[in-house]
Each structure stands twice: as structure tokens, then as C-alpha cells.
Amino acid sequence: MHRRLEPHAACGSADRRTSWTYPRKLLTLPPPPLRPPTPTRSPDADQKRAARGATRPGDRVFLGLSRGSGIFLLVIMAAIAVFLTYRSVIAISKDESNFLTTLEWNPTAAEPSFGIAVLVYGTIVSSIIAMVIAVPIAVGIALFITHYAPRKLGGPLSYVIDLLAAVPSIVYGLWGALVLAPQLIGLYGWLDDYFGWTGILDWQGGAPRSLFTVGVLLAIMILPIITSVSREVFRQAPQMHQEAALALGATRWEVIRMSVLPFGRSGVISASMLGLGRALGETMAVATVLSPSFEINASLLDPGGGTFAQNIASKFSEASEMGRDALIASGLVLFVITLLVNGAARMIIARRAEYSGANA
Amino acid sequence: MAKRIDISGLNAYYGSFRAIEDISMAIEPRSVTAFIGPSGCGKSTFLRTLNRMHEVTPGGRVEGKVMLDDENLYGAGIDPVSVRREVGMVFQRPNPFPTMSVYDNVAAGLRLNGNYKKSELSDIVEKSLKGANLWNEVKDRLNKPGSGLSGGQQQRLCIARAIAVEPKVLLMDEPCSALDPISTLAIEDLIGELKERFTIVIVTHNMQQAARVSDRTAFFNLSAVGQPGKLIEIDDTERIFSNPSVQATEDYISGRFG
């Protein structure tokens, strides 16, 4: 082994020579004295740098930039978390009632009393309604574009869907309040007639500016993001697995069920989480459509309720110092809920990683 | 249950491009027929016309007749899906469903075709895996993902999946080209066993493989790139490799081109 390598080293392959001389040098060097590190770097560090490809100026600049961007992101996240936590602690310590269960929002009273129960309920319920409506439709559209539609139709359709994402949320809000909400009266009556007995879909006949309408509007707003991510995932479903299903005598739907959907499963979950993130945090559209109140209705069709972002938007401009801190505390809760939702999604994806399309 | 295939006047197109021209041949039941020829001569396209997979390709179109015993696969009112249940296929790259276990992979075709009781299903799965010479290697890991097997095992898993639905014909599109020599040998042995029960058609780039496994060999060629591929001749494998009747065949098998 050694003899065979000798000629290579002699004929000047630089890498090989250095890799052979390092160990010898290290062996003969006396143990380094304990002192602060000097500007001259150890050969080890040099080698590490070389392995990262950071020896040339261009590489160094790029490494610095990309590493800097990564650190910058972490710093920003930490700064937000610290700010939210600090102001929240101030507010919650002055809260005279339970922050989690109180059904009122009076941070400026002589005895401040405010709680997030209504906001948690409203945010989660409206987002769930949005997901229940949007995810199946988005998956359907994505499958239609990738596997059913002729190419001439699929292209323009994708474009229109993507365009929906570019509409500002205040425009959705105006449309929701002026067009969608009045149109939903018929549906509300029908739901009340047939499903009123459930209590959840009971309707007292008020203006349809309820969590249900908000959910429908949010569904439309998160449709494009879920559709376009799912579409890209379905488009990448391996041809060879689709052909495998076809060759077994699968119909088009069975091909989708056997090879496309399992492959796209984790992608659809990620897409849904992106959509859910938007639904949880949506502000202007909700604030425009919902007629808020600080109470929890069992019925989704009766007006009232509120969401975190809507509550902050509508109260922030007129809030006192204490009122702002209280709103910030509610913002922190939204932050935590979003984190939990994302964590749960990651767990769902990881649980079946063994079976994912990735190790095909 | 193995069936004879009679092909007459078959043309296949990609859009307006004609990929294979006017092919007529007979494929005998319970035998192995190999297709050889240079790249681009339409062997794989032709193979895919035999289970109507060619039409799946955008722009794919077929003219002509493929008789499976006395049923024309391209006849009016024939459902391509039911054709593919009769004519199974194994692909070049092993393609077990990555989201399914070994067991579910083999059962996949059965579950499409009808309702089986659990015990029936596991009987057929076991029989098919034994038929594909894979049972001993996977019987302890039936519930592990199929994509965790080695390449050769995956390909035998695909064969087990194809034979589980008891097709009449088994098409193989270069089934060994992604495998190492040992796995190739295992598959070739398996082909020898399977021909007792099925009509087997195999496309191969490896002429030695054609000589080893097939009873009849068909040589395809194309006159120039961009021209449609044609069937040059089909004969007993022994004759093709010792004394072919067409000069081009001899040039190809003796390595003068291709």
C-alpha cells in the first residue's frame, strides 16, 4: 500500500502530498502551550476550510453572506420572541382575571381584565372551517390540472389560481362583506332548516357576518397556496409508479389513489399547513367581514366571536400602553399556536417517512 | 391459460411520427419470445402496444390488430383497463410502490380486481412470491416497505405483483438492465420457470440474454434515425443466432453494428 502510493506523492499531486505530510508534522510537533489563539491557524483548521470550499475569495464572500443570512433569521426570530414575551409578561401580570379563560377584553379598566378564550375559539374554528372547505377542493383542482385536464386548459387554469393569491386581503374582505355575506343568507337558511338541531348550525336570523362566513372567505383565500403546492407535488409523482399501477389494470382514479396521492401526501400536508398558517394569521379580511363580540357562540352561523389578528387590528390603533401590551400577549399566543400546528404537521410527515416517496 | 398473440399490420405513432411500421408476427403461448435490436428501433414501443400502454403516452396512437387468442385488443368496445389485467408488464427499472409494504405490493393488483377474503389474499401473495422465487427472502419482512429490498429483489417483487393477478401474457421491458449479474441470473432462471404458465415477451439489449432465455427471437431495425422501426425477422432463437436468413440480423448479432 505504502509503496504503491509513493510514486504519486513524488510526481507532485499536491493534495496527496499534503495529506501524507500532515500526520508526520503533527507527530513531531511539541504539544501546543496553553495560550490565546494566534492569527496563524492550525493546519487542521485550514483543512476544514478547504473541505468547505472556503479558500478562494469568492467562496469566502458567499459563505459569509449565506451564513450571515442564516444567523440574521435566527436573530430576528429571537428578537420577536423576546419582545413578545417581555411585553406579554408585563400585561399578564396586571391581568386581574384568568388570561386563558376570561370572556372579556378590558385591559384599560381600573382592574384590567382580559382573556383569550374567545380569540382562541374563533381563530381555530374559522381556520378549521377554511381547511375543511379548501383542502379537498385544492387537491381536486391540483389533480385535475396535473392528471385530467388537457394541457391547453391546465396552463391557464393554474395561472388563474395563482392570480387568486395576488389579490390583497382587504379586497377579499370588501368582497366578502359586500357580496359573499349577503349571498350566503340562502345557504344559512337551508343549513338552519336541516341542521339547526345540531346547535352548531343553528341560525337566529342575524346578519351573516359570522365565523362561518369568515371560514368560507378564508377557504377562498388559502385555496391558491394549497393548490399550487399540491400541483407541483402531484406533477412530480414518478411516472414509473403510475405506469406500474396502469399495467396492473388500474383505472385513472386508481392510478391516482395508488401512486399519486401516496407520493403527494406529505406535500399536501405541507401545503395545508402553509394555508392554515395564512388562515390563522389573516387580519384585514376577517376584520372587514366579522361583526365581533367577546362571547363564544355554539352556533357558527350567528354573528360574534373574534380572531387574534382581527382583534389586534381593530383595537390596536386606539389602545393605551396597557391595551397594547394585552394585544401583544394575545399575539404571542397566536405565535405559539402556529408553532404547535407546524410541529404537529412535521410529526405527521415524519411518522411515515419510511414509506415516503423519497426512498423510491 | 397462456394465450397466443397474433399481430397484424401494426403501426404505432407518437403524434405524427411513426415509431413502428407494419409489424405482423405470431407469439406462441408458453414460450419466451425475445425482441432484440438497436436503440430507437421501436422494440419497447411495440411491447407497449401489446397491453395498450402505448396510448398512455401523450400523442400515442396505434393502428392495426393484436389478437389475444380470438379477441382483438384494439377492437371496438374493448376497455384498455381490462386488457392490462390480462396482459401484465414488468418494467426496466424495478418500480414497487414505495408507500406500500412487500405484502401490499403483491396484493395491489388483486385489490383492484375484486374482493378477496383475507386468507385468500395471503394465500395468493405467498404463492406469487414463491412463484417469483422471492418468498424465502421476504417472508419475515412482508410488512416492511417494498422499496427497502435490493434492486434484484425489487424486480422479483414486481414480477410477483404482475403474476399475482394471473395474467395470460407477461411483458418484460429490459427487466435486467438495471440489475447486477447475480440478480440477472435469478431473473433469467425465473423466466425459465414462468414460461410454463405464461406467454412471455421480453425486450432485451443483451443478446446473450436473448440467446439464454428465449425460444423465439425477433430482430427489429430501423433504416435511419427518424425512420420508423421495422421487424426484420422472427425465428427460433437457435436459428437467429446461428444462421439468420437476413444479412442485417447477422451483422447485428455478430456485433458489426448496434
Average pLDDT of chain B is 91
Across the range B160-186, mean pLDDT stands at 91
Q: Is residue A108 part of a domain?
A: no
Per-residue confidence (pLDDT) for residue A9, from 0 to 100: 39
Pair A150, A273 in one domain: yes
Per-residue confidence (pLDDT) for residue A348, from 0 to 100: 79
Per CB-CB distance under 8 Å, the chain A contacts of B109 are: 248-249
pLDDT at B170 over 70: yes
Work out how many domains chain A is built from and give that number: 3
Cell numbers describing residue B238:
437457435
Structure confidence by residue, pLDDT tens digits, B79-95? 999 999 999 999 999 99
Interchain pair A246, B82: CB under 8 A: no
Pair A308, A175 in one domain: yes
Q: Is residue A288 part of a domain?
A: yes
Cell numbers describing residue A216:
368560507
Pair A34, A169 in one domain: no
Q: Is residue A359 part of a domain?
A: no
- Asked if B141 reaches chain A (Cβ–Cβ under 8 Å), the answer is no
Pair A189, A208 in one domain: yes
Chunked into runs of 10 residues, chain A (360 residues) has average pLDDT values of 42 42 46 54 70 76 93 94 92 88 85 90 94 96 93 90 90 94 91 88 85 94 93 91 92 92 89 91 91 86 89 89 91 91 83 53
| Segments making up each domain of chain B, as ranges | 5-93+171-254
Coil/strand/helix, residue B227: coil
- DSSP character at residue B146: G
Pair A202, A81 in one domain: no
Interchain pair A248, B108: CB under 8 A: yes
Cell numbers describing residue A277:
398558517
Q: Is residue A23 part of a domain?
A: yes
Q: Which helix (H) or strand (E) holds A210?
A: none
Q: Is residue A104 part of a domain?
A: no
Q: Is residue A70 part of a domain?
A: yes
Q: What ipTM did this prediction achieve?
A: 0.89
Structure confidence by residue, pLDDT tens digits, B84-132? 999 999 999 999 998 899 999 999 998 887 788 889 999 999 999 999 9
Pair A215, A170 in one domain: yes
Cα angle, residue A271 at apex, residues A268 and A273 outer, rounded to 5°: 110
Give the homologous superfamily in CATH for domain B5-93+171-254: P-loop containing nucleotide triphosphate hydrolases (3.40.50.300)
Whole-angstrom distance, CA of residue A154 vs CA of residue A158: 6
- Asked if A124 reaches chain B (Cβ–Cβ under 8 Å), the answer is no
What is the pairing mode between strands B71-72 and B229-236? Answer: unpaired
Backbone angles phi, psi at B61, to 5 degrees: -150, 145
- Domain range for A84 is 59-94
Pair A197, A229 in one domain: yes
Whole-angstrom distance, CA of residue A121 vs CA of residue B230: 70
Q: Which helix (H) or strand (E) holds A33?
A: none
- Asked if B59 reaches chain A (Cβ–Cβ under 8 Å), the answer is no
Pair A80, A172 in one domain: no
Pair A147, A82 in one domain: no
Pair A47, A162 in one domain: no
Residue owning grid cell 352548531? A200
Per CB-CB distance under 8 Å, the chain B contacts of A250 are: 81, 84, 112
Exposed (0-12), middle (13-18) or buried (19+): which is A341, by Cβ within 10 Å? middle
